[in-house]
Amino acid sequence: MAMFQIPSVEGPARIPLASHPRSWTSLAATVEPRVAEYFLVSARCGCFKQAARHLNIRAPLLRRQLAQLEETVGRTLFSYQGSTLALSREGLQLQAQLMALVPQRTTQVVSQPLVRLAIAAPILHDILSRDLIALLRRDASVRLEVIAVDNNQQSLQAANADVVLWLSDSGVVSTSPGFAIREPQHLASLDYLPHMAKRYSRTIARPEHLEGLADYLLVQWQPERQVKVFAPWNAQIDRREAGVVHAHTYELMLEMIRSSACIGLLPAYMSRFDRTLTPLPGLFDAPMQRQVWVALNAQLEVSEAVQVIVDLIVRTFDERREWFE
């Protein structure tokens, strides 16, 4: 990759700063604290993209600021050694002077508030994880604790989170997190159907009625044994004296369905999330539906960082609205 260059600037010839060590000291003292931080973080990370994530700015802005610094200095401060970003000789001199001035500068790392997000494990795995990761890739200064819960009131209450996202059994908030919350916001209605892997579901042998389930291994995520709207499915599980797996993690249940010819109960959107899975409609007469809610802890302060997480959650559900229709 080519060396990180700056545009040439016409004007009087510059005196080589490298030949005058004292001039680096004087120059470093004039560098704006913000630009000095950009330079030092980039030098430490050895990667403009990583430095931009840490600083919570866009990489093009970071590179423009550093290019302007190079223009002021009249020297190239960064170069590539193969694919690795490194400081040039002049860059090392400026780094040494700026680091010597750090104790004298008033700029400090801004402390970020810790945001605790408690979220039902299926929603985290299927819907929100990718957008959360995208947030962290944009802003490496976030302080976030993500707590995957089984959605029972006890686990939600123990989380005592700033933001809680949970499932209930009906259109009203029939199941609260177990602590005082601000007015909850309804995000989606989820219909549930048995699913199996496409590679094991030849149309001629696909079960079309409950009796057809007898030829297949069933898998159940244990926390859903207590979900009232899943009573028809749970009754099938309870009748089994063989051919049933009780999984204690949501991810294991999914893997059993994908890889072991199991049939398990999943949200109807699952075939959009994972196209290797197919739903089996028409096996149960009664619909099995749950509601998704988000709310804030009424006892904790609503900071800007908390609002960022809430906005991300609402936007994610809005963008996937067709999944729930």
- In sequence order, what DSSP letters do the residues of 240-266 get, joined into one string? -SSSEEEESSHHHHHHHHHHS-EEEEE
Q: What is the reported pLDDT for 319?
A: 95
Question: Where do the domains of the chain lie?
Answer: 17-104, 115-324
Report helix, strand or coil for 235: helix
CB atoms under 10 Å from CB of 107, counted, come to 11
Q: From CA 215, how far away is CA 203, in angstroms rounded? A: 14
- DSSP 8-state secondary structure symbol assigned to residue 127: I
Q: What is the reported pLDDT for 109?
A: 52
Mark residue 46 as left, alpha or beta (left: phi above 0; alpha: psi -120 to 50; beta: remaining): left
CB atoms under 10 Å from CB of 241, counted, come to 5
CATH architecture label of 115-324: 3-Layer(aba) Sandwich (3.40)
Side-chain-facing half-sphere of 288: CA atoms under 13 Å: 21
Q: What is the reported pLDDT for 126?
A: 95
Long-range contacts at 152-155 (CB < 8 A, ≥ 24 apart): 152/223, 152/226, 153/177, 153/178, 154/178
Q: Which CATH number fits domain 17-104: 1.10.3720.10, 1.10.1450.10, 2.170.150.20, 1.10.10.10?
A: 1.10.10.10
Give every CB contact of residue 236 below 8 A, 6+ residues apart in sequence: 210, 213, 218
With the C-alpha atoms ordered 254, 257, 262, 268, is the resulting torsion angle positive or negative? positive
Q: What is the reported pLDDT for 171?
A: 52
Q: From CA 117, how far away is CA 134, in angstroms rounded? A: 16
Q: From CA 261, how far away is CA 270, in angstroms rounded? A: 16
Q: What is the reported pLDDT for 2?
A: 40
Q: What is the reported pLDDT for 235?
A: 94
Q: What is the pTM of this model?
A: 0.69
Report mean pLDDT in 10-residue bins for the chain, 325 residues. 40 42 73 87 86 83 90 86 84 86 57 88 94 83 87 71 88 62 90 91 71 89 92 93 93 92 94 92 91 90 89 96 92
Q: What is the reported pLDDT for 105?
A: 52
Q: Cα-flanking dihedrals φ and ψ of residue 38, to 5°? A: -55, -45
